[in-house]
Amino acid sequence: MEDILHIQDLTVKFDGFKAVDHVNTAVRQGEIHFFIGPNGAGKTTLLDAICGRVKPAVGHIIFNGSVDLTNYAEDQIVNIGIGRKFQVPSVFAGLTVYDNMELAAVKKRSLTASIFHKATQEQVELIDHILHTIGLDEKRGQLSAALSHGEKQWLEIGMLLAQQPRLMLLDEPVAGMGRRETEKTGELLKNIAVDCTVVVVEHDMQFVRDYATKVTVLHEGAILDEGSVYDVQNNPKVIDVYLGR
């Protein structure tokens, strides 16, 4: 499989402080690639740089072999095919599951679309397919406010899928979930990764062990180690700064 993302010499500064410090890494297509490390390591800032929320001081982020994401604004990066989910679910509580999905599907190519169009037949079929994938087919008529925490997270992942991204960035998707919901989320990510590469920032090490195909460990903005779960969790430096705590 080829690389979908090349991060080259990436440095992000806040008032001179390097939150991300000369990071070089690659994300391979079809992987579930986890970024782990202590609080303040720069994980969220890295996701923010990929999706265009923050601009790097130095470096490039090459998507799909040739598109340098650092040249684009956040809404353009959505259109390029990169979806970002934040930690707190942001579904519309007063709308049904289906209506949330429809909203996400029709606004697909415009973050600023103010006119709400009905979904086309093709979009309806896509929504049906995604509702099945995220396990909310039978709850399509329910108000989102009535969903459990886990179901809200899956709905939000479904709303990202409705925009048909090639790469999905998830910030602590299983935070606040019980074991069963966490496992369901892992199986969902495996399913998604067949078509859409998944990058995850995560603290739940059991989840990382169970579902990572690659792990990058960040510490003080820089890469401490990278490789398989087995490799990084046996690295004494990683144990010292993160896993042993």
Residue numbers at the binding site for ligand ADP (CB under 6 A): 14, 19, 37, 39-45
Detail the DSSP E strand segments found in 116-187: 167-171
Task: Closer to ligand ADP by CB, 42 or 158: give it.
Answer: 42
Task: Closer to ligand ADP by CB, 36 or 193: give it.
Answer: 36
Q: Among 213, 130, 131, which Cα is nearest to 164's?
A: 130
Spatial separation of the C-alpha atoms in residues 100 and 155, rounded to whole Å:
8
Task: Closer to ligand ADP by CB, 124 or 243: give it.
Answer: 243
Least Cβ distance, residue 85 to ligand ADP (angstroms): 14
**HSE-CB of 83 using CA atoms within 13 angstroms:** 23
Q: For tokens 């460990």, name the residue.
A: 217
Least Cβ distance, residue 43 to ligand ADP (angstroms): 4
Task: Closer to ligand ADP by CB, 12 or 104: give it.
Answer: 12
Least Cβ distance, residue 37 to ligand ADP (angstroms): 6
Checking DSSP bridges between strand 58-63 and strand 67-68, what pairing results, if any? antiparallel
**Residues written for the chain:** 245
Least Cβ distance, residue 47 to ligand ADP (angstroms): 8
